[in-house]
Each structure stands twice: as C-alpha cells, then as structure tokens.
Amino acid sequence: MNSHQYGRVAGVGIGAALVAGVIAMAPSAAAAPVECRVPGAGTIQNSSDTSECAASSVGGSAAAAFGIDGSAAASAGSQGLALAIAVGGGTATSQAQDLSGPAAIAVGPGSTVEAIGVRPGLAIGIAGAGATVTLDGRTGPTCVGGPALAGDFQTLNGCVSLG
C-alpha cells in the first residue's frame, strides 16, 4: 500500500495527470450506460445488464448518478448536490447535505468511492482499478489500493494512492 496524506488540497497538475491516467486505464464499457438525474424532490432507479444507478433528492437539492458497466448511487439532502459515476466495474456512492457537493468517481474493476458531504464545501474522490477512496467530510479522506486521489474542501485535506 502506497498512500500519502496531504494537509492541504494541492498539486492540481499532479492530480489532473493522475485523473487522466485513471480514465485512460478504464476498460471499455460493454453494457448500456444508465443515468439517474433528480433536480429537486424525487427518486429514480435505472438498470441494464451490468449497469445500475439510483438517485434521490429533496426540494432545493440535486442528485445525479451514472453507471457505465458499474453501480452508482447519489443522495442529496437539504441544500446538497451529489454526483456519483461508476465505470467498468466500479462502485460509486455520494451523499450530500448542508451546502456540500461531494463527487464520487470509480473507474475500473474493484474500484470503490464513498463520498459524504456534511458541511459546506466541495469534495471529490477518484478511484482506479482495485482502489478504495473514502471521504466522510469530518476527517481527512483515505486512498488505498490501486491508483486513487481525493480532495476535500470540507476538511482541507487530500490523499493520493499510487497503487
């Protein structure tokens, strides 16, 4: 396990390069993509052969989940924006409330991201094949396993795992 914690969310250039690398390593999707968008109050679920998504939101919030040969779920509570994207065997979960905006992106087999927003601020977690990213909005995020990165403006912390 090669994981690094950073006290401040920094290294935008390194982060962008890692994101591009994770996306480039993603296997091509074989199943039909599914999408679930809920601006305002509502709930939706959608699935195909190997893709699934679910999204729920209350009034004044929005949630969106996209599954492309993966499983994504987004839930937005009071004044929250939640985004989850799962590709190529990944699992992404995002929960938002209280002016938070977490995004969970899982790309590749065995990738898992759980992003939770509990106070004002944006947060993003991106996991490649075999990686796990967890953001809870209270303590610093964790990145373990394969290639991964996270940045959390709720806690002003980030992490990187190089695999």
Q: Which pLDDT tens digit goes with each residue over 56-107?
A: 999 999 999 999 999 999 999 999 999 999 999 999 999 999 999 999 999 9
The residue-averaged pLDDT of 5-12 equals 40
Coil, strand or helix at 132? strand
Does residue 21 surpass a pLDDT of 60? no
Looking at the chain, how many residues does it have?
163
Does residue 26 surpass a pLDDT of 70? no
The two tokens of residue 21 are 């690398």
How far is 143 from 102, CA to CA, in rounded Å? 16
Percent of the chain residues topping a pLDDT of 90: 79
Coil, strand or helix at 111? coil
pLDDT band for position 163 (50/70/90)? confident
